[in-house]
Structure 1
Amino acid sequence: MMLPLPEKFDSNEIFIIFSTILTWVLMFILPRRLPAATITIIWTFNVFLALLADITLSVKPYELYFTIDHKKHELFDVLLHFVTYPTLSYFVVNFYQYKKPKGLKYLFYIIFWAGVAIALEWIAVKFQVFTYTGWKLYLSFITYLVVFAATIWLSNFIEKKDPYK
């Protein structure tokens, strides 16, 4: 079954296209510090987390938010989950590998990236990519702290098994 196209092409689809192109250009311009296998694993992990959040939080009985134009998934939901969303975690881990902050620097690093994610999500809300029906932005901040810490942990675990060159 093919996913439906948007009911109308408006600001949320434009935002997703623009942010996807921008982040992918940055991914190819900025120095890469991760092997392809690690990128694939953290990418898949973050797609899984995004889908898990949507499966549990955006459907009954919670229905805390919905994406794009309505509660049903469409083509741009797939683009958002599989192509756009995981790029932020890629940047978090890629830049982490540069200095590998420890202690308080690590905590501030995670807080900084959670702040970046919140700023991007706030902009996405303004473009109606997300419509909150009970969800709050501070809940996203807490979620991003956990997701980025878990993603960095996963990349460190992979590095122990197969050290970066």
Structure 2
Amino acid sequence: MILPLPKNFDENEIFIIASTVLTFALMFKLPRHLSAVTITIIWTFNIFLALLADITLSVKPYELYFTIDHKTHELFDVLLHFVTYPTLPYFVVNFYQYKKPKGLKNLFYIVFWSGVAITIEWISVKFHVFTYTGWNLFLSFLVYLVVFAANIWLTNFTEKKHPSKWT
């Protein structure tokens, strides 16, 4: 099945391209504190989470939001799910491995990154990457708390078995 091209190449596609280029540039510019195994697992895990969210929350009976221009998927949805979405959790766990916050600092770390995530999501809503039909940023914030905590746990678990050579 070939996914259709966007009906209109407009602000949401430009936003996705620009944010993907920017985050990839940062990924390759900033120091890496994760093993290749951890990066692969985290990346795959977040693709799974993004797809799971979209196939459960953006379809009937819920239809809480849709992405890009319409309720069906298009080529830029693939870019969004497989390339753009996983970059933020990558930064969360990469910096976590560098700082290794403990206790209350760990909670503040997760809350901080959840705030960063909803800020980015708010901007993406302004560019019509997401259209909410029952979803809101508060729900996203709660989801990000859980997702980032799960990513940190998964990173710690993976790095015990496959430590980064940079740590």
TM-score (norm 1): 0.99
CA distance in 1, matches of 2:157, 2:25: 28
Runs of 4+ aligned structure 1 residues displaced above 2 Å come to 162-165
User: Aligned-pair distance for 1:162?
Assistant: 2.2
Residue deviations 1:76-130, cap 9 Å, x none? Answer: 0000000001000000000001110010000000000000000000000000000
Unaligned 5+ runs, structure 2: none
Secondary structure of residue in 2 paired with 1:5? coil
Query: SS of the counterpart of 2:43?
Result: helix
CA distance in 2, matches of 1:57, 1:160: 34
Match of 1:132 in 2: 132
1:101 and 2:87 equivalent?
A: no
- Partner of 2:81: helix, strand, or coil? helix
**Greater shift in the superposed pair: 155-164 or 101-110:** 155-164
**Is the partner of 1:131 in helix, strand or coil?**
strand
TM-score by length of 2: 0.98
SS in 1 for 2:66: strand
Q: Deviation of residue 164 (structure 1)?
A: 2.6
SS in 2 for 1:76: helix
Q: Please, which runs of 5 or more residues in structure 1 have no aligned partner?
A: none
Give the whole-Å Cα distance in 2 for the aligned partners of 1:110 and 1:130: 23
